[in-house]
Amino acid sequence: MTKIPFLDLQQVNQPYMAEIKEKVFQSLYSGKYILSDCVREFESAFAAYCGSKYCIGVANGLEALVLIFEGYKILGLLQTNDEVIVPANTYIASIIAVSRAGLKPVPVEPDIRTYNINPDLIEQNITEKTKAILAVHLYGQCADMDAIKKTAAKYKLLVIEDAAQGHGADFKGTKTGNLGDAAGFSFYPTKNLGAMGDAGAITTNNKDLSDIVASLRNYGWGEKYNCIYRGYNSRLDELQAAILVFKLKYMDDEINKKRKLASLYKSLITNREILLPFEAAYGRHTWHLFTVRSEKRDRLAAYLHEKGIGTAIHYPYPPHKQKAYKEWNSLNLPVTETICQTILSLPMNTALNEEYIHIISEAINKFK
């Protein structure tokens, strides 16, 4: 029996190891370890990739978002206790970022087809205190940015992208990271652009915000040892930046490989018990995750496991049912709950080939 793990990062990174080793050792031998050449090189490469004016490397995706919110507080566009519209169906870090910045997240149900925030439900959740919308590009597919930006413009709200799952995705040809006022990225090892440890970045076209978050990530320094803000230590590490500079060059190739695997899954899986992922016409999916839905999700996962095929659930618990958000536990968010109860991620990574997709699809087609 062929074993197909859900994701084996050792295999995913294997083709790059020889060159990465060289890059990393160069950085180690340079003696320059903090906010130096590799970070600067990555920042300018990633800004160019996204089409944004500025990129600021930070320690991880969660803090990228926190620093954006804190930056807007310093700019006077946000205040403690302001409300931020967030998707109810997202990875919990999107929501924690809002809370951590002293703001109030307001969950809005997703579109059942794209799993991203339903833009038609945003307006009814806007109050006097609403100041921003956090648009998450879940699973590698852009949120409906035209509709989101239209509502944002009407109520003069900031639009912040949580692009932690959206590297390389586009909305009508414009890349994530350049679709709102600012964007937070994660380079957690499993993401479409994955470091070999923790890493993150902020992109924006706003020079003032860029200057502030660049300071905030480094204690809030203006000049060395002289603080303007009560900042953080959330610097992007030089070694991770060295790895990211290298891997960024291959990201589009990797996404294109995943796109081929995704269309193969879509043409091969014919089992009516399984709902295949929907691709909105406004942009191209990048397949950070290939998620199907089934009423028999748990049985399907166990069945595939028995056949040596790994799967995962993104995510088993909706944010509003978690202990950290006790005040939300009794909220009625049926679309989010349906997604959490039925969603299943199939193997989708560059260590796979067409043969594996055939094996997985055939197994799924025999599932009853």
Ligand X SMILES: *Cc1c(COP(=O)(O)O)cnc(C)c1O
Q: Which residues of this protein are in contact with ligand X, per CB under 6 A?
A: 60-62, 90-91, 93-94, 136, 162, 164-165, 186, 188, 198, 200
Closest CA to 156 of 76, 77, 232: 77
Question: What DSSP character marks residue 49?
Answer: H
If the CB atoms of residues 165 and 350 are measured against ligand X, the closer one turns out to be 165
- In angstroms, give the least distance from the CB of 90 to ligand X: 6
If the CB atoms of residues 162 and 304 are measured against ligand X, the closer one turns out to be 162
- In angstroms, give the least distance from the CB of 37 to ligand X: 23
Give me Rg for the CA atoms of the chain: 21
- In angstroms, give the least distance from the CB of 60 to ligand X: 4
Q: Which residue has the tokens 């870090």?
A: 93
Whole-angstrom CA distances from 70 to 93, 98, 283 are 16, 10, 30
If the CB atoms of residues 177 and 304 are measured against ligand X, the closer one turns out to be 177
- In angstroms, give the least distance from the CB of 352 to ligand X: 21
- In angstroms, give the least distance from the CB of 136 to ligand X: 5
If the CB atoms of residues 197 and 220 are measured against ligand X, the closer one turns out to be 197
- Give the CB-nearest residue to ligand X: 61
d(C-alpha 33, C-alpha 215), whole Å? 18
If the CB atoms of residues 141 and 361 are measured against ligand X, the closer one turns out to be 141
Question: Which segments of 21-117 are extended strands (E)?
Answer: 54-58, 83-87, 104-108
d(C-alpha 308, C-alpha 36), whole Å? 45
- In angstroms, give the least distance from the CB of 190 to ligand X: 8
What backbone torsions phi and psi does residue 112 show, to the nearest 5 degrees? -65, -20
If the CB atoms of residues 202 and 360 are measured against ligand X, the closer one turns out to be 202
Count other C-beta atoms under 10 Å from residue 31's C-beta.
Answer: 7
β pairing state of 104-108 and 83-87: parallel
Closest CA to 345 of 292, 272, 285, 280: 292
